[in-house]
Structure 1
Amino acid sequence: MSTSDRLIESTRELLWERGYVGTSPKAILERSGAGQGSMYHHFKGKQDLALAAIRRTAEEMRATAAGVLDGPGTPYERIARYLRREREVLRGCPVGRLTMDPDVIADDELRAPVDETLDWLRERLAGIVEEGREQGEFAAGLDGESVAATIVATLQGGYVLARASGSPGAFDASVRGLLSLLAPRDDTRTSSRPPTGTST
């Protein structure tokens, strides 16, 4: 791994663990094992490095989600597979947690990849819900955009509840509840199955 990649990966981890303020240049250099001055050789400074780290995290989240949502199966099965995929629940969502970081939200440039990723996820989920509605799998009255917003809100809220309780059980319960509401009436194959993973 190149020095710039080590710096980006270390910054990604620190942002997830400590937030922007807690991610000091010293901590980044210690975590990456890079020599002093390396950060300023490859990046303009902490903000520039943080932006590269956030963009990479956002790209990874989109790629992971697309790999599941664009896979085989009915719309319901693909949504269920996405909700049940393995996640590090107690660490929180690496993108969602950035929305609670005032320094990230106050910076238009840092906030942009976070906002774009969540918009992308809602749009992709809305398309799948509409696909299911057109195929008759979901109720005709369902609104794709509203359901997609509910799915994202349930995921992010599930992380908060799990972290507050110190147990992934709250996240799992949120997923089960949402899937039971979405499950086609004539198909209970997946609505009662517990999540396979307890950790986005």
Structure 2
Amino acid sequence: MPTGVAMRDARELLFGAAERVLLRDGPEALTSRAVTTEAGCAKGLLHKHFTDFDGFLAELVVDRIARIRQRGEVLLGAVGQGSVVENLTGMLTELFGSVAVAIVSLTISRDGLRARLREAVPTGVPILSEAGQVIRDYLAAEQAGGRIPPTADTDVLGLTLIGSTHMMFADRTGARPAEADVRAFVASVVPA
């Protein structure tokens, strides 16, 4: 890219490029050079907007966490509507069908990134912790509305759904689970 050409949203350009590299080649292939090459820009653009590469990755993860929280608001808006199983299936399929699995692998593999993320995410595995909270909040709201039995432990249900669905999607190189498989799992876990 020629110098002097205005970049409209360098952050989103670089974040999108990082996601494509992650999805295509995995966390081990994610470097600043791979990101800027994928974005079609000079390497200096990344360093102009971020302190260093781990800083860039930390901001990418925090941005994706914010998107999970926004999706959680949509899920909470569905309380009392549709079926609980369908609502959860949609959330889990969308979450793990995205770049989330690759981001989890990335955060596990980079000590510097995890250290930076501890400021924003003090406990748990980033992405999984936030998604688990979104699911637990939704289950608690459905329980308050009478669609989940009062004896159900929504914390355990939420963690079970997040952990097990993550395992279903964890192999980024294998076949993705069908939505019907996710639905069948959710239906087997969530009490009617």
Q: Give your verdict on TM over 0.5.
A: yes
Normalised to the residue count of structure 2, the TM-score between the two structures is 0.73
- Rounded to whole Å, the distance in 1 between the matches of 2:43 and 2:135 is 44
Change (3 A) 1:13 1:65: farther
User: How far apart in 2 are the matches of 1:70 and 1:110?
Assistant: 26
Provide the rounded CA distance (Å) in 2 between the counterparts of 1:100 and 1:4: 22
The equivalent residue for 1:42 is: 49
- Counterpart position of 1:61: 68
Q: 1:15 corresponds to which residue?
A: 22
Q: Deviations over 1:29-62 (max 9, x none)?
A: 1111112422222222221211222222222222
TM-score where L is the length of structure 1: 0.70
Q: Matched residues in 1 for 2:82 and 2:159: separation?
A: 16
Question: Shift in Å at residue 167 of structure 1?
Answer: 4.6
Q: Which SS does the other structure have where 1:168 is aligned?
A: coil
The correspondence of residues 77-92 of structure 1 with structure 2, limited to 5 A, is: 77-78=83-84, 80-84=86-90, 87=94, 92=97
Deviation of 1:63 after TM superposition, in Å, equals 1.5
CA distance in structure 2 between the partners assigned to 1:84 and 1:103 by the alignment = 28
**Which residues of 2 match residues 169-180 of structure 1 at below 5 A?**
169=178, 172-180=180-188
Q: Which residue is equivalent to 1:122? A: 132
How many residue pairs get aligned? The number is: 179
Q: Which residue of 1 aligns with 2:177?
A: 168
Structure 2: 5+ residue stretches without partners:
1-7
Q: Decide whether aligned partners of structure 1 residues 94 and 130 sit closer, same or farther in structure 2, where only a CA change above 3 A counts.
A: same
Contact persistence 2:135–2:158 (CA under 8 A):
yes
Q: What is the aligned partner in structure 1 of residue 159 from structure 2?
A: 149
Q: Partner of 2:77 in structure 1?
A: 71
Equivalent residues of 2:58, 2:117 under 8 A apart: yes
